[in-house]
Structure 1
Amino acid sequence: APLHPVMPALVEVYVNSILVINNKGTNEYFNKPITEEEIRRVFRNSIFGVNFDSQKKPFCPMEIDSGESSVEFNLEKPTLASQLLLIYYLLLYEDVRLSNAATLLANGRNIKSYSAAFLSELPIKYLLHQAQKDQMSYGGLFSPLLRLLATHFPQLSLVDDWMDYQVFGDYCRHQVDVNLSETSINEAFQNIETNPYKTGKILKAMLNKNPTDIWPFAEIFVRYVKSVLSDQVPRHIQEQYREVWLRLNTVLPRCLWIMTINALLDINGTAKNVTITQENVLVDPLQVLRCDIRVFRCGPILKIILRILEASLAASRSQLSRHLLDKPLLEKSG
């Protein structure tokens, strides 16, 4: 369903009613921000629902706010418009909050902040691409969303990523008679050196699917990235693996990056239980390079690592700017 042109303006008014202090009167009335749990409920009913399962979050943990009251409601499958409006609300809320952080702090207001871990779970990039494809319906929201994304999430605004998406959007798909399942993917990668043809068929089948259709297999797909590094694996299989990875990168890129970094970690005797998190990468983007040495001898996988490194450096710079805005220095009077 197309988006009503008044809705973005209503979201702006709502956000300002939460954060912007009105100096015209003595009585101040503020709306309450939407809780993280309420937002999760919307996306839990979408195609990304598995990523919001509180029982299964191996790579991208989200902290559930304690003490927050949430509204009980029954929600059917959310529309694209409702998801885009929620993303717009979140990005605009953080933008206005950071812009007014000094004023809010000076007035002693304790304002809710949405955590970076929570924001990293949301399919911001994927939804923005959907809005881009249907600008007749969502044109009024696409431009402000793109501006906010480029400002606060430059790691999701890389030129190469957008060009990749355009290529995938025009990709000519052919039906491949292969049953994609966790079992078939497991078997294909376990025999990648002895039977690369079988692995190639699985990878080709994944390339001929929509990115959202193969996202449920992302975890098991990334788990076998080290097996692709072997000298016995044909180059075209490595290239196909990279192409599938790039398709997955259009769905939930930040989750994919962390999964890939952890799967490629150079595990030795002193660091067997090390797991890199989003926060680790934001603080030190060079953690990305703590990978198996064979990566640097495998061109296609090295390209993946360099793409993650480029995005991580952009995210780290953005996080520093966010931190400076979030913790402003106030002048002491007297």
Structure 2
Amino acid sequence: APLHPVMPALVEVYVNSILVINNKGTNEYFNKPITEEEIRKVFRNSIFGVNFDSHSKPFTPMETDGETSMDINMEKPTLASQLLLIYYLLLYEDVRLANSATLIANGRKIKSYSSAFLSELPIKYLLHQAQKDQMSYGGLFSPLLRLLATHFPQLSLVDDWMDDQVFGDTCRHQVDVNISDLSINEAFQCIEENPYKTGKILKAMLNKNPTDIWPFAEIFVRYFKSVLGDQVPRHIQELYREVWLRLNTVLPRCLWIMTINALLDINNGNSRNVTVTQENVLVDPLQVLRCDIRVFRCGPILKIILRILEASLAASRSQLSRHLLDKPMLEKSG
């Protein structure tokens, strides 16, 4: 269903009613922000529900004043409702950061949505859906794109968006193969002895919608180092990169972290089990380059690492700017 043109303006009014302080000096009454749990319930019922499973690692909770979230009982959410929630979140953070000094000076406790929570949301994927249907969502696409470029520059890289147009929709390989965890395991376990079998499963994945193959992202990424073998044909490496780019249109930040961890060089004398997190990469983007040395001899995989490095550097700069706005220097009176 198309988005009513008044909805973006209503979201702006709602966000301002939460954060913007009235200068009239009267008693202030502020609305409460939507809790992370309420937002999570919406996306749990969407095609990304597996990413918000109650058994998965919980998000860092937003600071609260003891309020409880509403009991939301909804079926599969519409694209419009998901886009409006993403717009609310990005606009809330934009207004909060712009007014943080005033809010702190007035002694208000500022609530913010955690980076871990925001990193799990399908922001880029939903924005692409809005871009495809400008007749229905044109009024929301432009402000969403502006907020995305401002606060998440890692999701608005030109190369990424150009590749998304190529790998996000087209189905060039007509291969009828059942895709499952077992079939992917079997295909990659014989990648050097029988690359034809591996190529067949990769072409089958390219024939699916990105959201259909996302449930297999974790097991797919697990075989990154297998693709680096000397006996693996370049054609298979290129197909692997194409599937990765297809997955990159869904939840890129999750994919980047999975990729970094899959390619970590554990043969450097340190046998400890090290796991890189989103926060680690924001603090030190060069951790991306602490990967298996064979990556630098494999062109297709090196392109993936350089793409992640570019995004990580942009995210780190954005995180620094956000930190400076979050912790403004206030003049001491007297």
**TM-score, normalization: structure 1?**
0.96
- Note the alpha carbon deviations across 1:104-138, whole angstroms, 9 max, x for none: 00000001100111000000000000000000000
Q: Kindly tell me: are residues 18 and 59 of structure 1, through their superposed partners in 2, closer, same or farther at Cα, counting changes over 3 Å?
A: closer
Q: What secondary structure does 1:272 align onto?
A: coil
Shift in Å, 1:56: 2.6
Structure 2 contact 171–208 (Cα < 8 Å) conserved? no
**Consecutive aligned runs of 4 or more in structure 1 exceeding 6 Å deviation:** 58-65
Q: Kindly tell me: are residues 195 and 213 of structure 1, through their superposed partners in 2, closer, same or farther at Cα, counting changes over 3 Å?
A: same
Structure 2 contact 63–111 (Cα < 8 Å) conserved? no
Q: Kindly tell me: are residues 172 and 263 of structure 1, through their superposed partners in 2, closer, same or farther at Cα, counting changes over 3 Å?
A: closer
Equivalents in 2 of 1:140, 1:311: separation in Å? 27
Structure 1 contact 149–156 (Cα < 8 Å) conserved? yes
Q: What is the Cα-based RMSD across aligned positions, in Å?
A: 1.9
Shift in Å, 1:270: 2.1
- Note the alpha carbon deviations across 1:8-47, whole angstroms, 9 max, x for none: 0000000000000012241101000000000000000000
Q: What secondary structure does 2:227 align onto?
A: helix
Equivalents in 2 of 1:190, 1:64: separation in Å? 48
Equivalents in 1 of 2:134, 2:64: separation in Å? 34
- Note the alpha carbon deviations across 1:256-292, whole angstroms, 9 max, x for none: 0000000000014424310000000000000001100
| Gaps in structure 2 of 5+ consecutive residues | none
Q: What secondary structure does 2:32 align onto?
A: coil
Equivalents in 2 of 1:241, 1:61: separation in Å? 36
Q: Kindly tell me: are residues 241 and 60 of structure 1, through their superposed partners in 2, closer, same or farther at Cα, counting changes over 3 Å?
A: farther
Q: Kindly tell me: are residues 248 and 62 of structure 1, through their superposed partners in 2, closer, same or farther at Cα, counting changes over 3 Å?
A: farther
Shift in Å, 1:172: 4.1
Q: Kindly tell me: are residues 68 and 245 of structure 1, through their superposed partners in 2, closer, same or farther at Cα, counting changes over 3 Å?
A: farther
Structure 1 contact 152–318 (Cα < 8 Å) conserved? yes
| Fraction of identical pairs, as percent | 91
The residue aligned with 1:11 is 11
Q: What secondary structure does 2:21 align onto?
A: coil
Equivalents in 1 of 2:169, 2:116: separation in Å? 32
Does 79-88 or 22-31 show the bigger shift? 22-31
- Note the alpha carbon deviations across 1:81-106, whole angstroms, 9 max, x for none: 00000000000000000000000000
Shift in Å, 1:170: 5.5
Shift in Å, 1:62: 10
Equivalents in 1 of 2:28, 2:58: separation in Å? 43
Q: Kindly tell me: are residues 228 and 174 of structure 1, through their superposed partners in 2, closer, same or farther at Cα, counting changes over 3 Å?
A: closer
Equivalents in 1 of 2:58, 2:265: separation in Å? 19
Structure 2 contact 59–117 (Cα < 8 Å) conserved? no
Equivalents in 2 of 1:44, 1:63: separation in Å? 21
- Note the alpha carbon deviations across 1:219-245, whole angstroms, 9 max, x for none: 000000000000000000000000000
Shift in Å, 1:173: 4.2
The residue aligned with 2:225 is 226
Structure 1 contact 229–295 (Cα < 8 Å) conserved? yes
**TM-score, normalization: structure 2?**
0.96
Equivalences for residues 83-162 of structure 1 within 5 A? 83-162=82-161
Structure 2 contact 62–111 (Cα < 8 Å) conserved? no
Shift in Å, 1:60: 11
Structure 2 contact 62–113 (Cα < 8 Å) conserved? no
Structure 2 contact 44–50 (Cα < 8 Å) conserved? yes
| Gaps in structure 1 of 5+ consecutive residues | none
Structure 1 contact 14–31 (Cα < 8 Å) conserved? yes
The residue aligned with 1:210 is 209
Matched residues, number: 333
Structure 2 contact 3–136 (Cα < 8 Å) conserved? yes
Q: Kindly tell me: are residues 79 and 309 of structure 1, through their superposed partners in 2, closer, same or farther at Cα, counting changes over 3 Å?
A: same
Are 1:45 and 2:45 matched, yes or no?
yes
Q: What secondary structure does 1:12 align onto?
A: helix
- Note the alpha carbon deviations across 1:42-82, whole angstroms, 9 max, x for none: 000000000011313499999999x4410012111000000
Q: Kindly tell me: are residues 174 and 274 of structure 1, through their superposed partners in 2, closer, same or farther at Cα, counting changes over 3 Å?
A: closer
Q: Kindly tell me: are residues 28 and 58 of structure 1, through their superposed partners in 2, closer, same or farther at Cα, counting changes over 3 Å?
A: closer
Q: Kindly tell me: are residues 324 and 114 of structure 1, through their superposed partners in 2, closer, same or farther at Cα, counting changes over 3 Å?
A: same
Structure 2 contact 3–137 (Cα < 8 Å) conserved? yes
Shift in Å, 1:176: 1.5
Does 262-271 or 209-218 show the bigger shift? 262-271
